[in-house]
Amino acid sequence: MIAAALGVDVGSTTCKAVAVDEVGRILKSAVEPADPRVEPQVLRLLEAVRGEAGPLVPVGATGYGRKRVKGGRAVTEITCHARGAFARTGRPGLLVDMGGQDTKAIRLGELGQVLDFAMNDKCAAGTGRFLEVILGRLKVPLGEVAALAAGAGRAVLVSSTCTVFAESEVISLVAAGEPLDGIVRGLCLSLASRVAALARGPGAKARDVFLSGGLALNAAMVAALAEQMGRPVLVVPDPQLVGALGAALSVLPAAA
C-alpha cells in the first residue's frame, strides 16, 4: 500500500519516522538514536519509511528539531502526541508522554482535542534523561531495568530533585552496600513521583491514564507510575511512535 502521509518526530534522545495509509494506520516505522546532524538523519529515516510514496507525499514534523525538517509542516509535540494517542486509543483521558528530555501531561477531550497540558519547565529531572544518566553510572542497561526492579525486595529511596545530585546520591548508596535492584526500583519510583506531580494539574479530572514515549516500553516504569498515580496506567500501542504518528495525521489529506 502506498503511504498517504509521513510523520517524523525529531526528539532529544531518539528520532522516529512513520508512514501511514489514508486512514492513518501505521504502514512502516523507523527509530534511531538522535544524531545532532538533524537534516541527514531525517532524510534517511523518511526514505526508510517512504516505500512507494513519491516526493509529494505530505510530511508532518514534530519534536525539538521539527523546524529543521525541510518541506515538513511543523506541529508541536503536545498536539501530535494528543492526535497520535487518540488515534490509537479512541478515548478521552490523561496522556502522559515520557520522553528523553520532556515529560508532558495532556488532558484529552471526547474528540481527542487538547483541553489542557503541562510540561516540565527548566529542569529535565523528571524525564528519561534522569534514568539514562543514572543507569549509565550504575552500568545497568535499560533493557534489564524491568527484571531488576521486579525482583527487588524493597525500593531504596532516591531523591528526584536534580539528576546530577541524584547521580552522586546513588553512588553513595552503592558504596553503602544498598542492593542494586532496590536502587533501580527506587529510581523508577522517584522518577514516577515527579511525573505524577506534574500530571496532577491537567489530570485531576481525567478517568483513564495513558502512557506514551520511549519509557513506556519499560514495564518497571509503567508499574512505578501506576503506583505513584494510584490508578492503572495503559500503554498506548507503539508508545515510542505516538508523536511521529500524530505528525503524520496532522498532514493526512483526509484529516485536514
Partner 1 sequence: MTAHYLQGRYAEGAVPVAWVTSGFPVELLRPLGFHTVYPENHAAICGVKRLVTTLAAAAEEEGYSRDLCSYARTDLGSAFTGQTPVGRLPRPDLLCCCTNICQTVLYWYRALAERFRVPLVLIDTPYVYGEAPPHRLRYVRDQLEEAVRVAERVARRRVEPEELREVTRLAREGSLLWGECLAMSQSRPAPWTGIDGFFHMAPIVSLRGTEECNAYYRMLRDELADRVKRGVGGIREERHRLLWDNLPIWFWIRPLATLLAEHGFNFVCTSYTSAWAEAGRRVDPLDPFGSAAVAYTHVILNEDLRHRLATLSRLAREYRVDGAVLHSDRSCKPYSIGQVDLRQILSEELEIRVLLLEADHSDPRSFAAEAGENRLMAFMEGFA
Chain residues binding partner 1 by CB under 8 A are: 64, 75-79, 113-114, 116-119, 121-122, 201, 204
Residue (119 or 235) nearer to partner 1, CB: 119
Listed residue (198, 128, 125, 215) closest to 165, CA to CA:
125
Residue (19 or 108) nearer to partner 1, CB: 108
Residue (114 or 156) nearer to partner 1, CB: 114
Provide, rounded to whole angstroms, the least separation between the CB of residue 7 and partner 1: 15
Provide, rounded to whole angstroms, the least separation between the CB of residue 78 and partner 1: 4
SS3 161: coil
SS3 246: helix
SS3 205: coil
Residue (80 or 148) nearer to partner 1, CB: 80
Quick check: 208 and 94 in contact, CB under 8 A? yes
List helix spans (H) across the chain.
38-50, 77-89, 128-138, 145-151, 163-175, 180-203, 219-229, 242-251
Provide, rounded to whole angstroms, the least separation between the CB of residue 114 and partner 1: 5
Rounded-to-integer distance, Cα 248 and Cα 59, Å? 6
Rounded-to-integer distance, Cα 27 and Cα 44, Å? 17
Residue (152 or 206) nearer to partner 1, CB: 206
Provide, rounded to whole angstroms, the least separation between the CB of residue 226 and partner 1: 24
Listed residue (66, 86, 73, 79) closest to 252, CA to CA:
73
Provide, rounded to whole angstroms, the least separation between the CB of residue 105 and partner 1: 12
Provide, rounded to whole angstroms, the least separation between the CB of residue 139 and partner 1: 32
Residue (164 or 171) nearer to partner 1, CB: 164
